[in-house]
Amino acid sequence: MSADIPDDAPAPRSFASVFDVYEVRREDEEVLYFGDPRAGQERLVRTVWPLFRERGYEVSLDRRMGELVLVAEPLDLGVDGVPWTNVLLFGLTVLSTLFAGAGWYYVQDLTSPAIVQALPFTLAVLGVLGVHEMGHYVASRYYGVRASLPYFIPVPTLIGTMGAIIKMRGQMPDRKALFDIGVAGPLAGLAATLVVTVVGLKLPPVTVPEWVLNAPPEQTMEIVFHYPILLKGIAWLLGEPLRYPNDPSLVVNPVVIGAWVGMFVTFLNLIPVGQLDGGHMLRAMVGETHERFAPVVPGLLFALAGYVYYVLDAGNAATLWVVWGLIAVFLVNAGSVRPVDDSPLDRKRVAVGVFTFLLGVLAFVPVPIEIIV
């Protein structure tokens, strides 16, 4: 056995009861412990993980060149240098949401300074998405789980983006950490969404220009956003309209569309399957029982697509749910996160989870967008 072990790394004898080490190597910053297991994988990881974590290492069980090896690498939760990829994607998403928002403010020349009129829309969309992902990031840092800063996804759509994601690496300590990291995004995002909703409803409506109102019917295309119960309820409490049926020259302020984005993204993330927030939460709440429920989710989404297509006669929305049904199939096959300590979750967190899923239901609408030609 090599003696080339860093002073701060655990000695093989400290976990000899579950892993018999016969060689230790160092490769760059990694410390590799080659050996033979003396316990099942679950017990092995549950035993060695806290030993390495308290010494500042992330550890995982791997197989290299046909040999079992515990791979330990220094735990670094900080951002290493300037995250240029994150910065670039964020900048591109600012531009893409500005261009998308220009349409909601009826700006014709996208190269003119008038495009800054769409800045409130951009701030609303990026605000709700960014706060959602930062909720995950902060919770991950709190529990010592390595996570990247948010990666925004710029796409030329009606809202200018496909959302944002963070990447997590390493073991999940326990169900409490899994739940808190999973629920932090939806709750933080919904809090931001409520603020954006109130601001958007209080801002003055946008006036539809004459060139739009007087356009021939064959040249017009109406895009209708259907609002979920949660957004309608806030509008009702504030006494603010979401439609202006008696005045076709007025439409709701585009910041409200940003609030719609926040609620729609919250619902999608709360779908209880795989690596989605809802999947993390349900796995933490019910343990391995989650694996029995997860395969049902794609079927429910496909059934929703059929209902929307045949009953509500909304083909575009049906396609959306078919796509998400396929995504759910992939997520089921990918599996869920298994925490190191799989002890049951406390009742308070279970109650928070149920409440959060109910908020997700209130943020749901079967036909999110309708395009009328």
Q: Are 230 and 362 in contact (CB under 8 A)?
A: yes
Task: Please tell me the predicted confidence (pLDDT) of residue 217.
Answer: 63
Percent of the chain with pLDDT over 90: 50
Cα 180 to Cα 350: distance, rounded to the nearest angstrom? 11
- Residues in Cβ contact with 49 at an 8 Å cutoff, skipping those fewer than 6 apart: 59, 171, 173, 340
139 vs 215, higher pLDDT: 139
If 0-12 CB within 10 Å is exposed, 13-18 middle and 19+ buried, where does residue 101 land?
buried
Of 74, 108, 126, the residue at which a domain comes to its end is 74
- Separation between Cα atoms, residue 260 and residue 218, nearest integer Å: 28
Inform me whether the pLDDT recorded for 71 exceeds 70. Answer: yes
What pLDDT sits at residue 136?
94
Q: 168 with 147: CB under 8 angstroms?
A: yes
Calpha distance 256→248 (Å, rounded) = 18
CATH number at residue 33: 3.90.1070
Residue 49's domain spans which residues?
12-74
Mean pLDDT of 100-112: 84
Radius of gyration of the chain, Cα coordinates, nearest whole angstrom: 25
170, pLDDT greater than 80? no
Same domain (yes/no): 163, 201? yes
What are the residues facing 57 on neighbouring strands?
74
How is residue 127 written in tokens? 């605000």
Would residue 239 count as lying in a domain?
A: yes
In this prediction, residues 64-85 reach a mean pLDDT of: 80
Contact 47, 171 (CB under 8 A): no
Q: Would you say residue 270 lies in a domain?
A: yes
Q: Which of 141-150, 278-287, 332-341 has the highest mean pLDDT?
A: 278-287
CA–CA distances in Å: residue 145 to residues 45, 341, 368: 16, 14, 35
**Same domain membership, residue 66 and residue 171:** no
Q: Are residues 221 and 110 in the same domain?
A: yes
pLDDT digits (tens, 9 = 90+) for 183-213: 999 999 999 999 999 999 999 998 888 777 7
Task: Establish if 305 belongs to a structural domain.
Answer: no
Is 163 part of any domain?
yes
* pLDDT for the residue numbered 92: 95
Q: Are residues 248 and 226 in the same domain?
A: yes
User: Which DSSP letter does residue 26 get?
Assistant: E
Q: How high is the pLDDT of residue 168?
A: 83
Who has greater pLDDT, 105 or 356? 356
**Does residue 116 sit in the same domain as residue 193?**
yes
- Asked if 55 and 132 sit in the same domain, the reply is no
* Residues 59 and 158 placed together within one structural domain of the fold: no
Q: Are residues 269 and 172 in the same domain?
A: yes
Nearest to 188, CA basis, from 220, 166, 169: 166
| pLDDT of the residue at 219 | 59
pLDDT of residue 81: 67
**Do both 113 and 70 map to the same domain?**
no
Residue-level pLDDT at 201:
96
The answer as to whether 326 is a domain residue is no
User: For 253, left (φ over 0), alpha (ψ -120 to 50), or beta?
Assistant: beta
Claim to verify: residue 62 and residue 100 sit in the same structural domain: no
Split into its structural domains, the chain has a count of 2
Residue 155, class by beta-carbon neighbours within 10 Å (0-12 exposed, 13-18 middle, 19+ buried)? middle
Lowest mean pLDDT among 9-18, 69-78, 237-246: 69-78
Q: Can you give the pLDDT at residue 133?
A: 95
Cα dihedral: 232, 238, 243, 249 (round 10):
-160
**Quick one: 55 and 128 in the same domain?**
no
Show which of 53, 74, 95 is a domain's final residue: 74
In a domain, 265, yes or no: yes
Q: What is the pLDDT of residues 213-253, one digit of tens each?
A: 776 765 566 778 899 999 999 999 999 998 888 787 888 99
Q: Over the chain, what is the mean pLDDT?
A: 89
Asked, for residue 79, whether it belongs to a domain, the answer is no
Would you state the pLDDT for residue 338?
87
Single residue among 74, 98, 124 that ends a domain in this structure: 74
Q: Does residue 238 sit within a domain?
A: yes
Pairwise CA distance, residues 270 & 288, whole Å: 18
Nearest-angstrom CA–CA distance, 103 and 222 = 12
Q: What confidence tens digit (pLDDT) does each residue in 307-361 have?
A: 999 998 888 889 999 999 999 999 998 888 889 888 899 999 999 999 999 999 9
The DSSP element (H or E) to which 362 belongs, if any, is helix 347-362
3-state helix, strand, coil in the chain (%, to 5): 55, 15, 30
- Residues 199 and 93 occupy one common structural domain: yes
